[in-house]
Structure 1
Amino acid sequence: MPDRNCYYAGPVTDHFDGTRFLNPSGEPETDRSFGDILRWRRTAPSTQWPKSVPVTPTVPKDRVEGLRVTMVGHATMLIQIGGLNVLTDPVWSDRASPVQFAGPKRVTAPGVRIEDLPPIDAILLSHNHYDHLDVATLKVLHDRHKPLIVTPLGNDRIILRHIPTARVSAGDWGDAFAIAPGVQAHIVPALHWSSRGMGDRRMALWGGFMLRAGERLVYFAGDTGYGTGTIFRRLREAFGAPDVALLPIGAYDPRWFMAAQHTDPEEAIQIMLDLGARAAVGMHWGTFKLTDEPREDPAQRLRAGLAERGIDPAAFVPLLPGEWANFD
C-alpha cells in the first residue's frame, strides 16, 4: 500500500499515524483482507432484492421552523431545523459506484426529486465511500444552491478536485463549524473506514455529526459499527441527549465481515439508548443492495427489537423514501 497520503497532510494524533486514519483505541479493526472478501463472496447467499420498489416523492416545504426529517433514500435525508435546510450524504445517482454502468443500483427512486428540493444551506458529508460521497450529485447541488459542505479531514480534497469553487469546511473529530447564526455542526467519531480506490484506504477521515440549532440537537451517525459502545456514551456526556438520532440499520450481513463497520438493527437500538435520544430514524437500508440480508430484514428486525425491549415503535421509525416526520 502507498506510504503517502493523497488527501491529507497533518500532525500525528491518537487517530492519525501520519499516513492513515484510525478508529478510536480499543475498538474493533475494520480492515479486511482480499482473502476475507473472497470468503464472503464465496459463501454469500443468493438473496434477491426487487429490481424496483414504488416511491411517491414528496415536495418539502421551503422552510420549517421546528424540526422535520425527510427520507430521500439510503443515508440521504433532508433535515429542516429552525428555518435551515441541511442534507446528509446526498446521493441522487442511479448507482453507488465510480461508474454508472456497474455497481449497486438503487431500487428506490429518491423520495424528493432533486429539482424539488428547498434551498439547501449546508451538507453534512460523513465519508468518501461512493454510497455517501457522490460527485455527480454534489455538482448539481453546488450549481443550484452553493451549500456549505462540512466533512471530515481529507474529503475536501476529493470534492475540490471535482468542484473547485465548492464551499467546503473540513475538520477533525471534535471540530465544530458554524453553518448559520446559532447553528453548529460538530464532527464526531464513528467506527468505520474510507477509500475511493485500491490504494487510498483510510487516507480520508470518516465521522458522524452533532447538529445543534438553538435548543435542538440532531445526531447523524453516518456509517458506523457499534464496537464497545464507548463513543456513543461519550457523545451523550459531551452533548446531552439528541432530540432525534439518524442511525444506520442496514448493510450488516455477514456479521463476521460487517460488524466492525456497520450496525445491525439491534445495535442501532442500543445506540439510541446509549445516547438517550428522544427519537430515532432508521436509515442506510432498502435503497442499495450492499450486503447479504433481505431488503425488508432491517425494518422487520428493528420493529422486533423494539418490541422485545418494550419500546414504543413510534420512537424509532425506519422511514421510507418520500416519508417525513416532525420532532417538536
Structure 2
Amino acid sequence: MTELDTALPVLEPDMTVFEKSPLSGIRHLWIGHSTSLIQFDGITILTDPVFSDRCSPIKFVGNKRFRPTPCSIESLPKVDLVLISNANYDHLDYASVVALKERDIMGSMHADPEQAVTIHEDLRSQASIGIHWGTFSLAYEPYLEPRELLGAEIEKRNMKPSSFFTVSHGEISLVGADGYNDID
C-alpha cells in the first residue's frame, strides 16, 4: 500500500443503493474533483462529468488524476440531470459526455414545446420561460414554430398564458408568483 493509497483511498461504492431514491435526505457519491452523483426526491443528478484519466482536450497530455474514479460511467444509474458548472476541462470532459450520451444516461438533450409544458406541469411551476428558439437554425423548422407550438399547447391545456411564456431577444422580465410581469 502506497502513501497515496493511505492518504487518498478510493473506495468501491455499492452502486445498487442508487436503484431507489432515499426516503429522506440526500444521497451523495463523490466521484472526484467536482464530479458527484446526487440523489433525492426521486431525482438523480450527475455534476461536472469527468471520468477521463486526464483533464485536457487531448487524451495523452494534461493533468493526470491522482486517483482513479471509484465507479465507471457504465455503472451509473439512470441520470435525470447532468449539471455542468462551467466549461473548463476539469468540469466538462468531452469523452465523458459522449460516453454518457452513448449509454443514453443523459437521454434527449432537448424538449419540444409539448414536453416542455408537461415538465412545467409536473414540476408544478408557477411560471416558465420558453427559450432555445429563434436564434439559430438548428432543425428543420421555421424559426417561430417553437413559440407558436408552445402557445398552442398552453391554449390546448387551458393554462394561463402568463404561466409559460416567451420573451424577445434582449427583453428583461420579472417573474413572480403570479406569472410574468414586465419590468417597469
Question: What TM-score, normalized by structure 2, do the two folds share?
Answer: 0.52
Q: Distance in 1 between matches of 2:124 and 2:67?
A: 32
Q: Report the counterpart of residue 142 of structure 2 in structure 1.
A: none
Please provide the CA RMSD for this pair: 3.0
Kindly indicate whether the alpha-carbon contact (under 8 Å) linking 2:48 and 2:82 is maintained by their aligned counterparts in 1.
yes
Contact 1:92/1:110 (CA < 8 Å) preserved in 2?
yes
Equivalent runs, 1:1-328 vs 2, <5 Å: 53-60=8-15, 61=17, 62-65=19-22, 66=24, 67-147=26-106, 167=109, 181-182=122-123
Cα 1:179–1:80, aligned 2, differ >3 Å: closer, same or farther? farther
Pair 132,168 (structure 1): closer, same or farther in 2 beyond 3 Å: farther
Distance 1:85 1:180 in 2: 20
Q: Per-residue displacement from partner, 1:252-302 (whole Å, max 9, x unpaired)?
A: xxxxxxxxxxxxxxxxxxxxxxxxxxxxxxxxxxxxxxxxxxxxxxxxxxx
> How far off is 1:53 after superposition?
4.5
For 2:45 and 2:73, how far apart are their aligned partners in 1?
A: 14
| Displacement of 1:121 | 1.2
Q: Read off the aligned partner of 1:106 and give its amino acid letter.
A: R
Q: Distance in 1 between matches of 2:120 and 2:102?
A: 19
Q: Contact between 1:89 and 1:124, CA under 8 Å: does it hold in 2?
A: yes
Matching residue's letter, 2:39: Q
AA aligned to 1:92 is F
CA–CA separation in structure 1 for the residues paired with 2:8 and 2:121: 37
CA contact (8 A) 2:54 2:62 kept: yes
Superposed CA offset, 1:195-216 (max 9, x none): xxxxxxxxxxxxxxxxxxxxxx
% identical aligned pairs: 35
Equivalent-residue separation in structure 2 for 1:74 and 1:96 (angstroms)? 11
Matched letter for residue 63 of structure 1 = K
> Structure 1 residues 180, 135: CA separation in 2 closer, same or farther (over 3 Å shift)?
farther
One-letter code aligned to 1:127: N
Q: Is the 8 A contact 1:59 1:116 kept in 2?
A: no
Unmatched tracts of structure 2, length 5 or more: 112-118, 126-184
Q: 1:133: how far off?
A: 0.8
Higher normalized contact order (CA 8 Å, seq sep 6+, divided by chain length)? 1
Q: Distance in 2 between matches of 1:59 and 1:180?
A: 34
Equivalent pair of 1:120/1:147 in contact (CA under 8 Å): yes
- Number of residue-to-residue matches in the alignment: 111
C-alpha change, 1:179 and 1:108, in structure 2 (3 Å) is farther
